[in-house]
Amino acid sequence: MIYLDYAASTPMCDEALHIYSVLNKEMFGNASSLHDAGGQAAYTLDYSRQRMANMIGGQPEGIYFTTGGTESNMLIVQSILNGLPQHKKHWIMSALEHHSMYNLAKMLEQQGYELTIVQPDQEGRITREVLIPHLRANTGLVSVQHANSETGLIQDLAALSPLLHERGIMLHSDAVQTFGNVHIDVEVMGVDALSISSHKVYGPKGVGAAYLKPGTPWRSVYPDTLHEHGFRPGTVNVPGIAAFVAAAEMMTEQMEMHQERYATLRKYFIAKIQEKSIPLHWIVQENEKKAVLHHIVGCFFDGYEGQYVMLECNRSGVCISTGSACAAGHHEPSPALQALGASGREALQFIRISFGRTTTIEELNVLVDILTYLKHRQERSLSR
C-alpha cells in the first residue's frame, strides 16, 4: 500500500510508540490521585505541558490537553464566548474553516450567538481589508484557520491580530495542519487561542491540545469540571499526552528538513503531471503573495469526480483523499473550495495528495501512472 493521505492522519513514530508503551505499563496512575502513582502521572503531565508550551512559544498554564483538534476547536470557541461580556454575542470565522467549526456554528446559533462567515480575497487570503467591514461593536471573537487542510494555504495571522486586539476582539486559530510543519509562535502570531492535534504529527489518535493565552477571558463549557483546570472533564490521558509531545518534538526539530523534501516532491509531482498532460489543475496557484504547506497538493481532475479517482487509486493500492477526512461521507461541495472560487462541479472533482516523512519519488510515479491511465481512458471514451 502506498499512503499519500498524511494530511488526514499519520502513523505513530517510534519515539511516540516507545513513550506510549512505557508509560502505559509503568506510569498508569490517575494524575488526580493523591498517592505516589498519581503524583508520578501528575509530574509527567506538568512536564508535558511545559514542553508543549515551549514548542509554540506560549506559557504552560495556557495549555489544556484534549481529545484532538475538533474538541479543541469546539471548547475554545465556546469557552471564550462564554467568558466574554453578555453584549459580545457576535463572532466571525473564515469560510476556509474545518468541518468541525461549521458544526459548532449551528449549535451556537441556537444559543443566541450571531455568526458572520467571511470570504477570502481573490488570492485565498483573509486580510485586514477582508475583515474590517464585518467587525462590530459586539464582535467578541474571530477564528481563522492557520492553514486549510484541503489546499495548504497559510494565513498571515500576525497581520490580523493587532487590528483585532485594538478593538478588544479575541483571535483563535485552528493550527492542526501547521503545527509540526511550520514554526509556530503564539506571541509573534498574536493569537489568543490555538488548536492542535496529535495524530497529524505522528502521535496517537484521541489526543490534542488547546492553548488559551493566560489572561484570555473564558468560562468552562462544563460547570464544576475538575480536570485540566476546569477546561474539560474526564481522566487525563497521560501516556497519550506524553507520546503526543514526543512526536511533536521530533517533528518540530526536523520540520525544515521535511519541508525541503516536501517542496522537492511537490515540484517533481507537478512537473510529471504537466509532462504527461494529465488534466489536473490546482486550487491554489503559488506565487510570492502566498505561503503554502508543501506537503499538501490540492487539485481538480477535469472530467472525473474526485471520489471516483480516489476509488480507482485505492484499487491500485494508493491512498489519496477527496478532502478533509472529517467531512467524508458528505457528498457535497466543500465550503472552503467554493470560497476559493471553485464551482460546485469543480469542487466535486477535487482530490488531495499529501506527503509524509517516508514518501518517495517512486511512490509518486505510481500515482502518476494511475492518473495517466485515467486520462487515457477518458480520451478513449470521448473519441467514441
What are the residue numbers of the active site?
326
Question: How do beta strands 114-118 and 63-66 pair?
Answer: unpaired
DSSP element (H, E) containing 117: strand 114-118
Distance CA 128, CA 298 (A): 26
Q: Which cell goes with 245? A: 509531545
State the angle between helix axes of 306-315 and 361-383 in degrees (0 to 180), rounded to the nearest 10: 120
In 190-304, the DSSP E strands lie at: 193-197, 208-212, 280-282, 291-292, 296-301
Question: How do beta strands 296-301 and 350-354 pair?
Answer: antiparallel
- 354 residue type, one letter: S
306: Cβ contacts below 8 Å, ≥ 6 apart: 300, 322, 323, 348, 349, 350, 351
Distance CA 216, CA 174 (A): 17
Report the side by side order of strands in the sheet with 90-94: 63-66, 208-212, 193-197, 170-174, 139-143, 90-94, 114-118
- 20 residue type, one letter: Y
Q: Which cell goes with 77? A: 470557541
Contact (Cβ atoms closer than 8 angstroms) between residue 238 and residue 244: no
The residues pairing with 117 across neighbouring beta strands, listed in sequence order, are: 93
Helix%, strand%, coil% for the chain, nearest 5: 45, 15, 40
